[in-house]
Chains A and B, each alone.
Chain A
């Protein structure tokens, strides 16, 4: 918010200003902004529920009401543009009563059992009820009772907790262009419903979980694996291995009160070790491995005239999106499994052998910024080791909750290192967590492998940052290699439609389902907004810069893995364990 508002304010030099009076203070604001935006520029954070930055304004919750002199009724500040001379009151008696009453009305059709809710403590409805001093619900009456939808492997829907703000609907439609959910029925019977009234698990939902981040209440949350993980940890027969995704180390501090963008790698390792995992490993190891496999796949397609552009395959939300909406591009998508799945396959084969334990006694748990990873690890084809390659996948939020349950304060932890050998990684793997990272990591390796020369400048700035679609051209041995990066599925569509139409010049495309890449994933701490996403991205590049090795092909543990076990990149064993295939799915 702050950033965009600053931008607006900066632009204000160029646009004309209007004078409005907010609570008796005359201020100059850019023409065309809403009353809500004008108030925020003046430091008054008008409370909202259905409004969410980055989405179209809806105006339905009626919490952001303000009084405008001369207007008989209150107005919703989120949808009302300022006008010259407007006199706005944001906390008059009328305004306060109206806001509180609408909140009470919402609460009158909402369970009042905050203790039993996933969002206890991070619920906007709860927070507003506290701020407004709601102590009783004056308007009692019938409350709707709905079945909880647990059909999806990733996202749980509890319509009883839904306040019909539509933020999930707009996120799914406007940001992700998946449109898995929409309003159904009308009046008091209105609900948010997946496609055709089916359970979410049977819909086109790609499990990205962006709706969970958008939801102000506990109506949407992840399907929890917490209990299964505790059970595994407490089972003496099981050897429980943890892998943590690149984006976790820059976000897991937030639930413990650390500012967004704090790098907590060492403390995080120490904390999870104390939680009871037998080994704490790093998905980043598998990210380096992914670059070797995917890099060689790209080189092979480039040299042998294979299907181009090659499109990355690390993001399981994007993969399901492709299977539903772009099955014709299936052959363009890399056959490489995601780092999570590569890790599982290697752990239950190579590492189990090394350790001399039976892979059936091994449990692989991942901590991911992602809800789609829960779906991915349950896909039929993800058992190359002969077992479920990854047994359970926790979101950042679930992992933080487990630590808190045990009484571990991440802030207080000492700095510790990942275990050997699946804990060794490079800066190239670190940047996987941010949009453009996979592309940058791949370019660092592909360039050096193809040219045999050392890259002088490792930073590919043009593929970094929050622009929806980024592109770059790299000169490799005199050949211009065109690459593109898209994050958020709405942005992905722009690039994919070009490819589909045969108008794309690209050789290599990175797609991440979530805005900002994994640091903005649906499993990340709440809130996750533009500002926080940018801070996490800064932290990701800080991790990259701080590491001694910054190119995947220089990872000694990965090199040893090929020598001792896999053989050649893209070789037979590598292919069996580290590559996969896709299935076209219904578009409806």
Chain B
């Protein structure tokens, strides 16, 4: 990571929450949105700037499913495994994705493009089974639709 450039960007994010009382989670979310994950050095930097122990920052960063402390693919695919999707074929969706991507849950493709994760309810049970690719949701998934959707991101 290019140090001076990145820290300037983090400073910009920090400045968004100057007036907030407890902005840690907001800041971590914004950083993740920008870089896809939370590098260790960045967490340390945020800890120092906010005057919060870095062990606490790390504890928060590892608590939430949407925050990543390890590098992930450019596109994070989150497949819903909760009951409404489960009873409409989420297992098949997950299997199809594993087959298509050649990876298992929690893994990232070799080209660094996709990370496959399972998640709890995405709140779009009306179109179950569903998944999210970064912050775009896809519903009524079938094997064919999965191939179409992946093709969009493979380009």
Contact = CB atoms under 8 A, between A and B. Distances in A.
Q: Does A touch B (CB under 8 Å) in the complex? A: yes
The list of the 9 closest CB pairs from A to B, nearest first, reads A179-B53, A182-B55, A182-B59, A588-B44, A195-B54, A184-B62, A588-B54, A195-B55, A185-B62
Given A196-B44, A197-B69, A588-B47, A186 B56 contact: no
A182 B47 CA distance: 14
B43 interface: yes
A194 interface: yes
Which of B57, B62, B69: most chain A CB closer than 10 A?
A: B62
A194 B55 contact: yes
A198 B44 CA distance: 11
A181 B56 CA distance: 8
A195 B69 contact: no
B58 A193 contact: yes
B63 interface: yes
A179 B56 CA distance: 8
A300 B62 CA distance: 52
A196 B62 contact: no
A182 B43 contact: no
Q: How large is the interface on A (under 10, 10 to 19, 20 to 34, 35 or more residues)?
A: 10 to 19
A587 B57 CA distance: 14
21 contacts: A179-B56, A180-B55, A181-B55, A182-B59, A184-B58, A184-B59, A184-B62, A184-B63, A185-B62, A185-B63, A193-B55, A195-B53, A195-B54, A196-B43, A196-B44, A196-B54, A196-B57, A198-B40, A203-B55, A587-B48, A588-B47
A588 B48 contact: yes
Nearest to A184: B62
A230 interface: no
A179 B55 CA distance: 7
Contact of A197 (B40, B53, B56): B40
Interface of A: 173, 179-186, 193-198, 203-204, 587-588
Contacts of A179: 53, 55-56
Contacts of A184: 58-59, 62-63
Nearest to B64: A186
Nearest to A203: B55
Contacts, number: 52
B55 A186 contact: no
B132 to A, nearest CB: 20
A196 B48 contact: no
Contacts of B48: 587-588
B19 to A, nearest CB: 25
Contacts of A186: 62-63
Interface in B14-56: 40, 43-44, 47-48, 53-56
Contacts of B58: 182, 184, 193, 195-197
B53 A182 contact: yes
B55 to A, nearest CB: 4
A404 B105 CA distance: 52
A492 B61 CA distance: 30
A164 B69 CA distance: 22
Contact of B40 (A181, A194, A196): A196
Contacts of A194: 55
Nearest to B57: A196
B115 to A, nearest CB: 18
A447 B53 CA distance: 42
A504 to B, nearest CB: 21
B27 to A, nearest CB: 16
A488 to B, nearest CB: 17
B55 A196 contact: yes
Contacts of A204: 53-54
A182 to B, nearest CB: 4
Nearest to B53: A179
Nearest to A197: B58
A192 to B, nearest CB: 9
A186 B65 CA distance: 9
A236 to B, nearest CB: 47
Contacts of A196: 40, 43-44, 54-55, 57-58
A433 B54 CA distance: 33
Nearest to A193: B58
Interface string B129-150: 0000000000000000000000
